[in-house]
Structure formats: structure tokens, C-alpha cells
Chains A and B, each alone.
Chain A
Amino acid sequence: MSTVSENYVPGHAAAAPQAGAVKLTMVLSGAVFALMMAFGLLMRAAQGQWIDLDPALFYQLLTAHGAGMVGTAALSGAAIMWYFCGRHLVLSGGIFWAFLGLFLLGVVLILGAIFIGGYGGAWTFLFPLPALSGGAWEAGAAAAFMLGYTAIGVGFLLYYLELGRRIHARYGSLVRALGWNLILGREDNDPPPPAIVAAAAVTIFNSIGIILGAAVLVASLVHLLVPGFEVDALLAKNLIYFFGHVFINASIYMAVTAVYEILPEYTGKPWKSNRLFAIAWNAVLIFVMAVYWHHLLQDVVMPPWMLVVGQLVSYFSGIPLIAVTAFSTFLYVRGSRMTWDLASSLLVLSVAGWSVGSVPASIDGMISVNKVMHNTMWVPGHFHTYLLLGEVAMAFGFMAWLVRGKTISQMDGLDRAAFVTYLAGAVGFVTVFLFSGAASIPRRWAVHYEEWLSHDRIGTLFGGLVVLGTLVFVLRFAARLGRREG
């Protein structure tokens, strides 16, 4: 047993405004994560022909899983960042509730569109698929799906406007909050802490993503409802991937604030912004918006220079930040006698998983590799790595920390079992995806050939472990919340 290390003075740790709203959001996120994982397991089992799933239902599940997971990753990331920004800024609770309400409204519309309306055009709603269902769903279902996205987008926009406004009020300008004074070597007697640097960067690029995403959403809606109106398919694809890439990345960039703010309690050393840190975040800010071109490497009509930029920028974008974060984590952890409880283990794991997951991602970002790997299981392989072992681990780590109490103690048997199960399951699950990708098994196929079944079945087994671990994390969190509050 040890208490929070003495040489670390948690500056404003007592201030946790809107903790109730954040806890509610995390319970909801945990539950949805578990449910969507169950959907994923069903898909994997169906691909392995252990269960019999109508292909139409498979695509509905795929759509729900994609949209639901991306949405929940963003939701949990947003709750985490809100919580920690609340230590440094005064944030309006009303906006958070509006954000959560709009999010849930969006979820209802999306689930209705999928399971009542039969929409199965994937979370990417790529033009013109939603309008060309071949009778599988009505235009109304696709429209409801997009309206659901719109509601969620509006909620996020309010969230970022509030955050941006408060950062601006506190720091005078967003560039100062991005640490430009640190970068330029100017004096700053109130430098932005890491959580604020992250929040400033995410606020900027995700607002841009949402504004552009809203434009393509509404244009697609107009096209659905007034089929006379066409939209430019290539432009739509660009905008959708811009939005999608930025949005899913933002979820990790938001959730990582948990690492910056929580790990110091364990290592005893505060995590401060420095020059390198600020440079890494500014690199993310600039480059995250140019890397989406890696989704279009197969689109021969794209100007080649864009694709080359997409490839190069893939390296410059995430990698400096991951390197800085991973390296600092390593240094902090190594230099201190940490207590490994569930929260600290999951958070350190998340940094490792995020780093490891970026490797196959960059490989696929190479044009020569992409020619082969595009649309194979390699792709779900890499993003499940940095989502399952990155973002989701950050969210679960944050949840474990929220209900930890004042004293830090080593993991008990159940925690340890759940952690190991989750880790083993996730590593195995994504490894199978990567192997399948290397074997050129395509992604997004409801029905698989005989030769692929062993991949699918091993994947299903590992996926089951992930679900088990998740159930323990989420139930444990809910039970402890009830105990502390009830």
C-alpha cells in the first residue's frame, strides 16, 4: 500500500466539476463498448461459420459496430478531456449535458436507421451507396442515419466551441495554449499544461473536421431526398475521409489526456509541457488534416502529389507525438517505483498499444504496400490495435481511476485476471487480423471462403476473451460507482 506520492502536489486535483456527468458518460460508454464488442464477436463468428447470420444482418451489424465504436470512442475521449480540462478551466455544465443529450439522440436515430430501417451502408456512408441500396433499405433509413450523425456532430461542435472559448478566455489565444511560447523560446509564466495543449489542438482540427463533415452530410442528405441533386463523388469521398480520419484520431488525442493527468499520481513526477511536447502536438495539428489522403491511395484520379503528401505526412503526423508520449511514459515509469493497479496498468498499456498500432498503420500508408493491403483485413488489424489497446484501454484506465479512492494498492486477483484476459485477447485478436491481411483476406466480406475459416475462428476465440475482460471492467466500475455514491 502506498498513498499518492508526497513530492507530487496534485495542483487542482480536488476540483472535479461535473464529475457526475462524466461518470454517467463513462458508464454509458462502457456499456456501449461491451455491446458493440458483442456485435463484433457475432460478425467474426459468422465469418468463421460458427453461427449462421443473414448477410443483410451482417452488414447492419458492421454498420452499427463501426458507427457505434467510433462514436463511443469519441464520446469517452470527450468525457475524459472535459474532466481534465475542468482542472484548468471553468467549463459550463449545461453544454456538456446538451452534448450528451444530442449524442444520445443521434444514437437512437442511428440504431433506428439500422435495425428498423435496415440501413447497412457502413459507418462511412460513402456516396452514393446510401442512395443505392438495391432495395435493402429505403432512402428514409439512410436519411435517418445521416440525421443521427448530424445530431452527434452538432453536439460535438457545441462541446468544442465551449472548450475553445474557455481556452481562449484563459490563455488569450489558442496558439499560446498550443505552447507556441515554449516552441519559440519566449517567456511564459503560465505555460499551458499538457491537457490544455491537447485540448487546443483537438478543438481546432476537430472543429474543422466537423464543419466539413456537416457540409458533406447535408449535401448527401439533399441528394437522398431530392435525387436530382448530384454531388461530386470524388469530392464527397475526400470530405468523408477527411472527417472520418480526423474524428477517429481525435478520440485518441482526447483520451490521452488521462495519461498526462493520471500517471503523475503514480510516478510522483508532474507531467509538464516542454518544447518537444509542444512541437509534437503542433505537428499533429497540422498533419492530421493532410494524412487522410492515405485513404485514397487507390483513387487513380487523385492528383499524385496529394497521395505522395499523404504518404509522407503519415510519418510526420502521429509519430512524433507517439514517440514523445511513449518515451516520456517510459522515462517516468522507469524512474519511479510505481504501484501497478488496474488504472496505471491500463494507462501504460494504452500508450504501448497506441505506439505499436501506429506501425502497421504507417506500413499501410506506403503507396507500394497499399496497392496490396488496401481493403484487406490488415486495415481492421491496425486500427483495432490502437483502438482496443489504445483508446479503449485509456477509457477503461480512466474509469478504474475514477472509482479508485485515495489509496493506491496493487491489483487484486480479479483485476489481474481481467487485465490479463483483456490483454491476451486483444493482442491475439488483432494479430489474427494482421495475419489475415498479410494473407490477402479481404475486409468487409460477410461470407468467407473455406480456407479463411481457421483465421476467423481463432479470431473469434480471442475476441471472446476481450469481451470477458471488458465485462469485468465495466461491471466493476458500475458496482463501485454505486457503492461510493449510494
Chain B
Amino acid sequence: MRMICLALLAFAEAIALRQAAEASPVQHVLVQMPLLVLAGVLISWDIRGRRVWAVPLLLTALTAFLFWMLPRSVDWALTPAGETAKYLSLPLLLGVPLRLSWPWLAPVLRGFLKANALSMLGVLGFLYTHAPLRICNSYLVSAQQDLGFAFLHLAVVLACIWAVPVLFGHPRWLPSGSAGCSKCGA
């Protein structure tokens, strides 16, 4: 129940950010969209996925992720149709499947996805900070550069979050097993 309330809260927060998302791509891509994914993750928090679903669910999540990574999708998300699609697909096709498949993924695969996420953030940062053209038509070039730097900062933060437990051991105050947190498998 608590998780469902949190999920609704995240969703409401995302909707409240509508104006901000139109104004700045950073708010849009790095605040609103992750909130929507988070809503999906939280709503399915207490559901246990079945093992046989893990691979199809993961593929669904990755497809949704790849789709929303494209700059033109970000543009499209500001039109009414795209906006509806965004509000539905990010929680349901990315957040939920990710949450349901994640505990079943092999540790090396999880590590690979994380490492890949870092590389891709790097690529996005690379391209957005230096693109001579406007990639998203709805935003200014300067905002595009901000977004690029935001991607890079996010990559650094995530790298630290993921690396610290491996480097220094799992902090005692977190529930843990040797394969990471037993609850979420992160």
C-alpha cells in the first residue's frame, strides 16, 4: 500500500512538472521522465515477476528505453498524442517490466546494463554538448548543452553510487546478500 501511494505521488509530481518540462529539456528528460519510470517501478514493487517473463519483460523495457532516448521522441512528447504516450508508456512499458525482470537477471547481465547505461549517458553528453545543430526542435541550443552536461553529471553520480558498494563493501545499514540488496537486487 505504501508503495502504491508513493507511486501515485511520483506520478502526480510528474504531471505537476508539465510546464517545467516544456521550458527545459533537463527537467523534461532527467526529472519528469525518470519520475514516470519510478512510478511504474513503485507500483509493481510488491509483485513478484515470474522467471519465464524476465527476458521478454527486459526486452520490452529496453525497447521503450531506446525509443525515449531518441531526440525526436523527446520532441514528440510535447505534442498531445506524444504526451499521452509518454505518460502511459514510461511507467507501464519501462518501469513495471524493469522492476519485474530485474531480480531474475544474472549479476553479470545487471552489471553490463549498468555499465552500458554509463557509456550511453557519456555518448549523449558527448553529442549534446557539441552538436552544431539543434537536435530537439522544441528547445534552445543552450538548453541542449545544459542537457548534455546534465547527462555527464548523472553518469558520474550513478557511477559512484554503483561503484562504492563494490569497492568498499556493502554498507551495514542496508539489507544485503552477497548478490546485492535482496529486495530489489540492485
Do A161 and B112 touch (CB < 8 A)?
yes
Do B115 and A157 touch (CB < 8 A)?
yes
Within 8 A of A (CB), among B23-67: none
Do B126 and A211 touch (CB < 8 A)?
no
In the complex, 14 of the A-B residue pairs with CB atoms within 8 angstroms, ordered by the A residue number, are A95-B108, A154-B112, A157-B112, A169-B178, A173-B169, A174-B166, A175-B169, A204-B167, A211-B119, A212-B119, A215-B119, A218-B119, A222-B123, A235-B130
Q: How far is the CA of A154 from the CA of B109 in the complex (A)?
A: 11
Interface size class of B (residues with CB under 8 A): 20 to 34
B82 at the interface (CB under 8 A from A): no
Q: Which residues of B contact A222 (CB under 8 A)?
A: 123, 127
Q: Which residues of A contact B116 (CB under 8 A)?
A: 214
B173 at the interface (CB under 8 A from A): no
Q: Report the number of A-B residue pairs with Cβ-Cβ less than 8 Å.
A: 80
Residue of chain B at shortest CB distance from A178: B167
Do B126 and A174 touch (CB < 8 A)?
no
B residues bordering A, Cβ < 8 Å? 107-108, 111-112, 115-116, 118-120, 122-123, 126-127, 129-133, 159, 166-169, 178
Do A229 and B127 touch (CB < 8 A)?
yes
Do B127 and A176 touch (CB < 8 A)?
no
A231 at the interface (CB under 8 A from B): yes
A138 at the interface (CB under 8 A from B): no
Contacts A161-B108, A164-B166 given: A229-B115 contact, CB under 8 Å? no
Q: Which residues of B contact A164 (CB under 8 A)?
A: 111, 166
Do A165 and B111 touch (CB < 8 A)?
yes
Do A173 and B126 touch (CB < 8 A)?
no
Q: How far is the CA of A315 from the CA of B16 in the complex (A)?
A: 55
Do A231 and B108 touch (CB < 8 A)?
no
Do B107 and A165 touch (CB < 8 A)?
yes
**The 6 residue pairs across chains A and B that have the minimum distance between CB atoms:** A215-B122, A173-B169, A214-B119, A161-B111, A219-B126, A232-B130
Q: Which residues of B contact A212 (CB under 8 A)?
A: 119, 122
- Taking a contact as CB atoms closer than 8 A, the residue among B108, B127, B129 that contacts A158 in the complex is B108
Q: Which residues of B contact A158 (CB under 8 A)?
A: 108, 112
A54 at the interface (CB under 8 A from B): no
Do A207 and B126 touch (CB < 8 A)?
no
